[in-house]
């Protein structure tokens, strides 16, 4: 997909990419699925808060698309932050921003936590 993890700390993960023509839908904007994929940083944020030998998987997620993204948008970042991380359930939120700091999309996730 062409994105990279650019920051990671306990409970917070940031990914970034520059969208290209390969990411466009027939309407000429970046496909919403790519935005949802970038918001996988929410699950990564939960994973960053887990003990060794523990993992997580998505139970549900919601994405709200606010502004169109095109290759002309340039570099976009998605930041995921843990809201709560218990023994069995973790929740996080995420924001997709452009280089000017404009909010392009946001989301939430609920993840199941389990031993590996």
Read off the pLDDT of residues 9-21 as tens digits, 9 standing for 90 and up.
999 999 999 999 9
What pairs with residue 62 in β-bridges? Answer: 108
Of 33, 10, 16, 32, the closest CA to residue 81 belongs to 10
Query: How big, in percent rounded to 5, are the helix, strand and coil portions of the chain?
Result: 20, 50, 30
Read off the pLDDT of residues 53-105 as tens digits, 9 standing for 90 and up.
999 999 999 999 999 999 999 999 999 999 999 999 999 999 999 999 999 99
Sequence-ordered alpha helix ranges (H) in 1-116: 32-38, 41-48
Q: What predicted TM-score, i.e. pTM, was given to this entire model?
A: 0.96
Read off the pLDDT of residues 25-66 as tens digits, 9 standing for 90 and up.
999 999 999 999 999 999 999 999 999 999 999 999 999 999
pLDDT for res 103: 98
Of 10, 2, 17, the closest CA to residue 75 belongs to 17
Position 1 pLDDT exceeds 90:
no
Burial class (CB in 10 A: 0-12, 13-18, 19+), 94: buried
């Amino acid at each position: 997909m062409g994105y990279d993890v650019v920051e990671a700390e306990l409970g917070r993960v940031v990914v970034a990419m520059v969208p290209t023509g390969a990411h466009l839908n027939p309407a000429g904007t970046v496909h919403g699925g790519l935005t949802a994929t970038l918001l996988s940083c929410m699950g990564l944020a939960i994973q960053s808060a887990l003990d060794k030998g523990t993992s997580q998987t998505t139970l549900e997620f919601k994405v709200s698309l606010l502004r169109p993204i095109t290759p002309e948008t340039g570099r976009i970042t998605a930041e995921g932050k843990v809201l709560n991380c218990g023994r069995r359930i973790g929740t996080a939120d995420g924001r997709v921003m452009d280089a000017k700091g404009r909010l392009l999309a946001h989301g939430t996730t609920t993840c199941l936590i389990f031993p590996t």
